[in-house]
Structure 1
C-alpha cells in the first residue's frame, strides 16, 4: 500500500512533493556551500598568512648559547626548511664623504644597525631584500641610508664602532628592506619597551666581513653585538588560523624549553597567524549574519510549502479514516512521504552543492561540509511532512470535529506589542554599538582563546523579527475591506470590493504568505546591499594602498615623475598626477611626507571623507590648496607633539642642492587619518609645489595613473618606459587588492556573495511563485466553480491578481523596508571588516532589478497556472480533490 500511496502522490500531488523536496534541496545545498566556504576561507587565511611572513622565527641567542645546540633543539622540535645565522651590531654613527675633489661634503647620521648575512640568505628569505641599485650581494645599504648619506655604488661609508676605531666599507649596492619592522624586532623585549619603528640607517655586510669587522667590538661591548637564527619552518599547519597559531606557539615554547632559557624565539609566524584569527572569526560572523538567515528562510519556505497543503492532508486523513485506516497507518504513509521528500531533497541538494563547490569555494565539497547539511535536510523533511500529517490525523477524529468553533481574537504578540518592543531593543543595541568601544570580534593578542560577541546578533535578529511582526500587524490592517478595496482597484477593477471581501476572510493565510515574501525580499536586499558596500570598500581600500589604478613608484635616485609626460601618453591613460614621497624629521622622528597637487589630485585617486578629521575630503583639499605651506599631520604626531591648529611646524628635509637636511617651516591646518600610499601610523601631507621649491628637487618620486579600461597594457607600457630606472616598481589596483587583502578578503567574499545572491534569487522566486501557486491550488475548486457559474476569465483574473498583489506586492514592499534596515545594521556592526568604514550604504541596482524580474516571473507563472487550472471541468476537479 505504501508504494501505491507514493505513486499516487507523485501523480496527483506533484507540486506538494516536488515543492517540499525543492525547499529541502535548497536548504541543504545552501548550508553545504556555506560550510565549504568557511572551511576553504580558513585554510586560505592560514596559507596566506604563512606565505606573507618573510622569516617564520627569529631565534635570539643569549651570550652563553651554542649555535649547534640551538639548531639541534629547533630540528628536534619541528621540521624546518632553512636556518641561517644572522649577526646584528649597533654602531654609534654612519658617515660618508661625497662629491668631486674640491667640492666634497660630509654627511653623518645618528646611531645605526649593521647586519651580517650568511651566503644564501637572499635565496632562503627572498622577501627580506629587494635590490634597487648595483649588486645584490656584498656591502649593501638601505634606501633610506643611501638618501641620508647621499651615497651611491662605489662610495665609502664609515661605521663608528663602540669600543673600536671607525672602519670604512665600499658600497656595492642599494636595497629596500620591505620587512624592516620584523627584521629589527626586539626579540624578547617586554611589550611596550620595544622600539616603535625600524632604524633609519642600516648597512648589510657579508657574514665573514661582519665577523672580522665587529670582533673587536664584541670583545669591548658584547651587549652591542648579537646573534640570531632565522628559521623557515616546514611544519604542516592546520587549516584553522586559531589552531595554527596555537601549534606554532607550542613549538616555539618547546624550543625555548629545550634551550633552558639561553634563547628566545621571535615568533613572527605566530604573530601573523594571531592577526588572521580575527579574520576567521569575522568570517564566522558573516556566516551567522548573512548565511544563517538564508538557511532559516529556505527552511521556512519548505515548511510553508508543506503547510500550504494542510487542507489536502486533512481531507486525505479523513478519507483514509472513513475507509478504515488506523492512525498508525496514516502516520506510516506520512513517514514514507517524508522519507521520499528527504531522499529527493537531500540527494539533489548535495549533488548541486558538489557541482557548484569548485567554482564557488575553489575546492571540492568535503565530507564534513556535506554531513551536517544532509542531517539538517533530513530533519527538515521529516518536520515539514510529519508534523502537518500528525495535525491532519488529530483534526480528522470525531472528537476534533465536535469541538466548538470560536472566533479568534488578536494574537498574544499583538496584544503585548512584541513587534514594537523588538524594534526598540534593536535600536538600543545598535545605538550602544555606535557609541564607541564596541568590538564584534574579541581576539586578545597572544591569547589562544578568541570569541565573537554574542550580543552583536541581538540587533539584526530583533530587527528581523520585529520588522516582520510589524509587517504582519500592518498587513492585518490593510486587509480590512475598506482599505484593501482602494488598494486593489488598479489590479481588480470594478470587482475590487468583492475581491477585498474574499481576501479579508483569508487574512491569516495571506498574511503568512506575505510575511514569507517579506522575509525573502529582506534577505535578498540586505545581503546584496552589504556585499555591494563591502566590494566598493575593498576597491577604496585598494586605492588607499596603491594610490591609483596604476602607480609607478620610484625613489630619490630614480624618480618615476621624470617619465610623467611619457606615461601620460600611454594608450588607456585618462589622467596622470605626480606624487612626491620623501622623508622629514619631526623632532627626532623620521616620517613619510607626501606632496600633492590639491586641485587635481582627485583626478587620479579617490579620497574618503573619513580620511580627514572634522572635515570632508573636498574641504581638506581646498584648505591645502589655499595656503602654500599648509600641512596635514597624522593624529599620532599631533598627540606626540601636542600640536594645535595654526601652529608652526618646523621640519627637517633633505635639500637636493646642499645634500644636507635643512629646516622648512609649515603651518598645521588639519589632521589626516589615512591617505593613498601612506603608512598607517605617522605621516604628513603638504603641497607638492612648496615641497619642490624648499627642497630644490622638482622631480616627484611617484606617478599616479588613471586608466579607462584594462590596466594591464598600461602596466606593461609603464614598465617599458621605466626599465632604465633602477628600483622603479609598477603596480595596479588588482595586485594591490591581493597584496593587502584583509583576512576576510582572503576568505574570498566574492564566493560568499555568489552563494548568497544566487540563493536569494531562488528563495525570493520560491517564496513568491511557489507559495502563491500552492495557495491558489488549495482554492482551485473555488475558482473552477466560479468559472462553471459563468465567471469570465477577466473576472477570475481579478481574484487571482488580487491575491498575488497582497502576497507579492505588499509583502515585497515591507520586505524592502526591513531589508534596508537590516543592511544598515549589518554594515554598522561589521565595521571591523571595512578599512576605512563606508560613508553610506551602496545599493546594487542591477541585481535588485534581476530580483524584481525573477519575482514577477514566478508570480506570473503561478497566476497563469491557476488560470489554466480554473478552466477544468467541475467534476474532474471534484474527483481529483
Structure 2
C-alpha cells in the first residue's frame, strides 16, 4: 500500500521530473537500438559490396605432376562451388605483327587459354571491344602496340621453339587483369605483381597445339589454374563471420590437396579487408552515436539530480519518522521502475519505428534476441541507477540535520581541484598529434584486392576531448556566473534592463544549477554540430571519391580504335548534359615502364570534373592547371614515377608515344612541371597528365578516347541517355558515378550513411532542444516558491519575467557558444584523423548551415516555451505559497 501511495504521489507532484527521466532513458535506448540496427545493416552492405567486387573467388594453381581431376574433387568437398574452370597460362618471349608494310614487335607477355563457358561464369574478366569472342583474342593495349585488329595475323615468339602464327578474331579489355595474372603462392609481405603488358587469349585447343611443345621443352614457362566461383548465397551477411567461413574452407582445401596445389583466396582477402573495415565502422559509428547515448544518460541523471535538495528534505523527514535505508531505497526503486520501464518501452518502440522510416536501413534485417535483451537491460539499469544511487548516497552519508539545511557552503568538486578537464584536453591533444600523423592506412594485398589496417587508438583523442571540453564548460561557466562580473551583466542586460545588477546577483547564487544546464545544452549542441558536420563532410567526400574513380558524373570510355570523342557532339546535345569535355587516354613509355597518359585542355577540364587541391603536390589545382596551360610541352608526373626516376622539376623527359602515322613508338620531349598525386580515372600508382593539343600534334592524332560529362540532375539518367545513343558500338562503355568501383580503396566510404544520418541528426535535434528546455523547466519548477514570494511582496509580472528570461538567455547563450565551438573542433578532429579514408582527403569541412540553423532555432524555441510556461499566474501568489 505504501508503495502505491508513493507512486501516486510522485506522479501527482513530480510528474515532470519522472517524465523527463523517462524521456532521457527512451532517447538512450532508442539511439542504442537504432545504432545496433545500422551496424548490422552496414555489415551486410559491406559484405555484399565486397563480394560483388571480386570476380574470381579462388585461383587454385596446380603443381606440375598433380592430377587436376583429384584437385577438382577435393575442391567440391571443401567448399560449396558454383563454377570451376581450368585456365592455362604460358609465357611468351614477345609478339610480332606486320601491318601496312611495317613490322611491330612487343616485349614479353602471356598467352591464356579459357574454355568456351568461361565468359559465361566469369563475365567480368573479358569485355569485347571489337570482333567476336570465338577464336584468338588480343588485349586492347597489345592490339594498339601491334596495330592489329580482327582478321590480322600475330606471330607468337615461343620460348625455346620457333614462332607460331595465329589469326586475331577480336579485341578485348581485361578489367580484372590484376587478379587474373597475379602470382599465386607469394608470401603475404610480397609486393603485388603487375599484370603483363602484352596478352593473347587462345581457345583451349589452339593453346594446346601451340604451347604443349613449349611445356615439354620449358615446363617452367606454363602453368595450370582452376578459377573458382563459390556459392555466395551461403555466405553469412556479417563480414567477420563470412571471412571466417571462407578462410576455413580454404584451409580445408589446402589440407585435402596436401601440397599439390596453391590457393589464392581473392574472396577471403577482400572479406578480410572488409572485416577490418566493419570493425572500424563499428568503432566509428558507435563513436558518433556514443556521445548521444552518453548525453541521454547524462540528461537522465541531470533530471533526477535537479530535485536533489527536495529529495534530501523528503528523505530526512522519512528518517525522522522511522524509515530505514531499505525503506527509502524501496520507495526510490518504485519511482525508478516507473521511469525505467516507461522509458525503455518507449525507446524500443521508437527504434522499431525508425527502422521502418529511416532511409538506407533494412527493417527486414532486424536485431537478434540477445541484442534486444542487452538494449532493454541497459535502459532499465540507467533508470534504476539514476534514482537509486543518489538516494543511497544521501541515506548513507548525509545526516538528517545536513539534509534539512537549506543553505550550505559550496565547495569545488574533486575534479576541479585536480584540474582534470585540462589534463583530459592535454592528453587529447597529445594523442591527436600522434594519431593524425598516421591515420587510416590502406595497403594492397598480394592477391590484388584491397586490405585495410586500422589505428583504433585514434578514437581515444576525440573521446578525451569530448569529456574534457564538457568539464571545461562547467568550470568556465561556474566561474563566470559565480563571479557576478561585467560579462554576466552584459549577457542578461538585453532582457533584464535596469534590473541587470539585481538579476545577475540572484543568478550568481544559482551557479551550480545553471552551470549544469549550460553544460548539458552545450554537450547536446556539440553532439548535433559535430555529427552534422562529419556526416556532411563524409557524404561530400564520398561523392568526390566516386568521381575520382569514374571521372565525372557520367563518363564514356572508348579505345584508341573507337574513341568516345568522335561522338562528342551527340553526347553534348543530350537533354541531361550540363557540359561534356573530351580527354585523351594514351600510353607512353617512361624508360621501359609503360604508363597511362592523359591529355587534357587545362582551361576546360574543370567544367566536367572536380579537381581538388589534394590531387597535386606543392601547388593548388588552379595554379597547377594554369602552369600546364602556359607550358604547351609540360607534363604532370605521378609521385611514384618521380621517385622511381629521380626527377626534378624542370627536367626534360623523353616519353615514347605511338605515332598514328606509322604506328611506331617515337620519343617526344616533355618538360616536367609538377607532381600529380591523383587524377580522374587514373590508376593509383603511375600516370602522366599533359596538354591534349601537344599530344595530338606530336602523335599525329587528335582523337579523345574518353568523354567526361557533368549531369544537370541525375547522373544515372544521363548514363542511360548516353548508352541509348551509343548502343550501336559495344566497345564504348558508359558508367555513372554511382557505379564507381573501388578496387583499391576503403569499403567504409562505400557505406550509405543515409540511415545513420537520419537517426543521429534526429536524435541530436531532440536532445539539444530537450537539454535546454527541460533543464530550464525543471529549474523553474524547483524555484516556484521564490517566484511566488516575489509575486506576493509586490513584484510586477515584467520584473518576474526579467529573472526568468535572464536565466533562459544565460543557458541559451552559454550552451550555443560552448556547444558550437566544441562541436566544430570535434568534427575537425574526426575528419583529420580519418583523412586516409577519403580519396582525396577533404580540403575543408562541409558545414550544414540549414541544419544548424534549424537546430539552434529549436533550442531557442524550447527555452522560450520553458520560460513562458514558468510565468507565475497573476493574483494567485498566496494560493501557490500554500501549495508549496
Q: Which residue of 2 aligns with 1:18?
A: 19
Q: Where in structure 2 are the equivalents of 1:720-799 lying within 5 Å? A: 720-736=724-740, 742-799=746-803
Q: Closer, same or farther in 2 for the Cα pair 1:671/1:139, shift >3 Å?
A: same
CA contact (8 A) 2:78 2:249 kept: yes
Matched, 1:521 2:525: yes
* Superposition deviation, residue 649 in structure 1: 1.0
Q: Closer, same or farther in 2 for the Cα pair 1:143/1:450, shift >3 Å?
A: closer
**Separation in 2 of the partners of 1:215 and 1:427?**
66
User: Over residues 617-641 of structure 1, what are the superposed CA-to-partner deviations in whole Å (9 max), with x where a residue is unaligned?
Assistant: 1111111111111011111111111
Matched, 1:877 2:863: no
Q: Which residue of 2 aligns with 1:180?
A: 177
**Per the alignment, in what secondary structure is the counterpart of residue 165 of structure 2?**
strand
Q: Closer, same or farther in 2 for the Cα pair 1:732/1:70, shift >3 Å?
A: same
**Separation in 2 of the partners of 1:151 and 1:440?**
42
**Per the alignment, in what secondary structure is the counterpart of residue 171 of structure 1?**
strand
Q: Where in structure 2 are the equivalents of 1:72-87 lying within 5 Å? A: 72-87=73-88
* Superposition deviation, residue 181 in structure 1: 0.2
**Per the alignment, in what secondary structure is the counterpart of residue 172 of structure 1?**
strand
* Superposition deviation, residue 533 in structure 1: 1.3
Match of 1:824 among 812, 825, 828: 828
**Per the alignment, in what secondary structure is the counterpart of residue 657 of structure 2?**
strand
Q: Which residue of 2 aligns with 1:425?
A: 427
Q: Closer, same or farther in 2 for the Cα pair 1:654/1:66, shift >3 Å?
A: same
* Superposition deviation, residue 399 in structure 1: 4.8
User: Over residues 277-306 of structure 1, what are the superposed CA-to-partner deviations in whole Å (9 max), with x where a residue is unaligned?
Assistant: 332132023134312111111100111111
* Superposition deviation, residue 29 in structure 1: 0.7
**Per the alignment, in what secondary structure is the counterpart of residue 839 of structure 1?**
coil
**Per the alignment, in what secondary structure is the counterpart of residue 141 of structure 1?**
strand
Matched, 1:362 2:365: no
* Superposition deviation, residue 445 in structure 1: 8.5
Matched, 1:208 2:198: no
* Superposition deviation, residue 571 in structure 1: 2.2
Match of 1:408 among 388, 410, 423: 410
Matched, 1:835 2:839: yes
Segment drifting more, 752-761 vs 413-422:
413-422
Match of 1:105 among 88, 102, 110: 102
**Separation in 1 of the partners of 2:204 and 2:334?**
78
Q: Which residue of 2 aligns with 1:385?
A: 387
* Superposition deviation, residue 839 in structure 1: 1.3
**Separation in 2 of the partners of 1:451 and 1:566?**
46
Q: Which residue of 2 aligns with 1:507?
A: 511
Segment drifting more, 89-98 vs 499-508:
89-98
Aligned alpha-carbon RMSD (Å): 2.6
CA contact (8 A) 2:442 2:745 kept: no
CA contact (8 A) 1:440 1:832 kept: yes
Match of 1:351 among 343, 346, 349: 349
* Superposition deviation, residue 531 in structure 1: 1.2
**Per the alignment, in what secondary structure is the counterpart of residue 559 of structure 2?**
coil
Segment drifting more, 835-844 vs 471-480:
471-480
Q: Where in structure 2 are the equivalents of 1:273-292 lying within 5 Å? A: 273-292=271-290
Matched, 1:166 2:167: no
Q: Closer, same or farther in 2 for the Cα pair 1:350/1:729, shift >3 Å?
A: same
User: Over residues 669-696 of structure 1, what are the superposed CA-to-partner deviations in whole Å (9 max), with x where a residue is unaligned?
Assistant: 1111100111111100000000011111
Q: Where in structure 2 are the equivalents of 1:90-101 lying within 5 Å? A: 90-99=91-100
Q: Which residue of 2 aligns with 1:481?
A: 484
**Separation in 2 of the partners of 1:325 and 1:415?**
36
Q: Which residue of 1 aligns with 2:306?
A: 308
Q: Where in structure 2 are the equivalents of 1:172-251 lying within 5 Å? A: 172-190=169-187, 196-234=193-231, 236-251=234-249
User: Over residues 367-418 of structure 1, what are the superposed CA-to-partner deviations in whole Å (9 max), with x where a residue is unaligned?
Assistant: 2432222111111000112223334556885354588976334444334433
Q: Closer, same or farther in 2 for the Cα pair 1:845/1:178, shift >3 Å?
A: same
**Separation in 1 of the partners of 2:874 and 2:741?**
59
**Separation in 2 of the partners of 1:356 and 1:775?**
32
**Per the alignment, in what secondary structure is the counterpart of residue 852 of structure 2?**
helix
* Superposition deviation, residue 135 in structure 1: 1.6
**Per the alignment, in what secondary structure is the counterpart of residue 40 of structure 2?**
helix
**Separation in 2 of the partners of 1:264 and 1:169?**
32
Q: Which residue of 2 aligns with 1:578?
A: 582
Give unmatched runs, 5+ long, in structure 2.
Answer: none
* Superposition deviation, residue 149 in structure 1: 1.5
**Separation in 2 of the partners of 1:448 and 1:839?**
25
Q: Which residue of 1 aligns with 2:639?
A: 635
User: Over residues 732-780 of structure 1, what are the superposed CA-to-partner deviations in whole Å (9 max), with x where a residue is unaligned?
Assistant: 2233279987321343223222221111111101111111111111112
State the TM-score, normalized to the length of structure 1. Answer: 0.94
Match of 2:598 among 594, 600, 621: 594
CA contact (8 A) 1:140 1:204 kept: yes
CA contact (8 A) 1:282 1:833 kept: no
Match of 1:690 among 687, 694, 702: 694
CA contact (8 A) 1:633 1:670 kept: yes
Q: Closer, same or farther in 2 for the Cα pair 1:109/1:872, shift >3 Å?
A: farther
Q: Which residue of 1 aligns with 2:805?
A: 801
Q: Closer, same or farther in 2 for the Cα pair 1:741/1:852, shift >3 Å?
A: farther
**Separation in 2 of the partners of 1:29 and 1:774?**
23
CA contact (8 A) 2:291 2:527 kept: yes
CA contact (8 A) 1:18 1:341 kept: yes
Segment drifting more, 770-779 vs 402-411:
402-411
**Separation in 2 of the partners of 1:89 and 1:598?**
43
CA contact (8 A) 1:278 1:743 kept: no
**Separation in 1 of the partners of 2:131 and 2:443?**
47
User: Over residues 210-267 of structure 1, what are the superposed CA-to-partner deviations in whole Å (9 max), with x where a residue is unaligned?
Assistant: 2222221222221112110011112633444344334323322222222121110011
CA contact (8 A) 1:311 1:778 kept: no
User: Over residues 119-165 of structure 1, what are the superposed CA-to-partner deviations in whole Å (9 max), with x where a residue is unaligned?
Assistant: 21111111111112122332211111221111122222222222333
Q: Which residue of 1 aligns with 2:471?
A: 469
**Separation in 1 of the partners of 2:519 and 2:446?**
44
**Separation in 2 of the partners of 1:44 and 1:134?**
38
Match of 1:498 among 499, 502, 512: 502
How many residues matched?
875
State the TM-score, normalized to the length of structure 2. Answer: 0.94
**Per the alignment, in what secondary structure is the counterpart of residue 617 of structure 2?**
coil
Segment drifting more, 205-214 vs 838-847:
205-214
* Superposition deviation, residue 657 in structure 1: 1.3
CA contact (8 A) 1:579 1:596 kept: yes
**Separation in 2 of the partners of 1:108 and 1:737?**
34
Give unmatched runs, 5+ long, in structure 1.
Answer: none
User: Over residues 529-570 of structure 1, what are the superposed CA-to-partner deviations in whole Å (9 max), with x where a residue is unaligned?
Assistant: 111111111121122112222212111111111111222222
CA contact (8 A) 1:528 1:844 kept: yes
Matched, 1:332 2:330: yes
Q: Which residue of 1 aligns with 2:41?
A: 40
**Per the alignment, in what secondary structure is the counterpart of residue 603 of structure 2?**
coil
Match of 2:148 among 147, 151, 157: 151
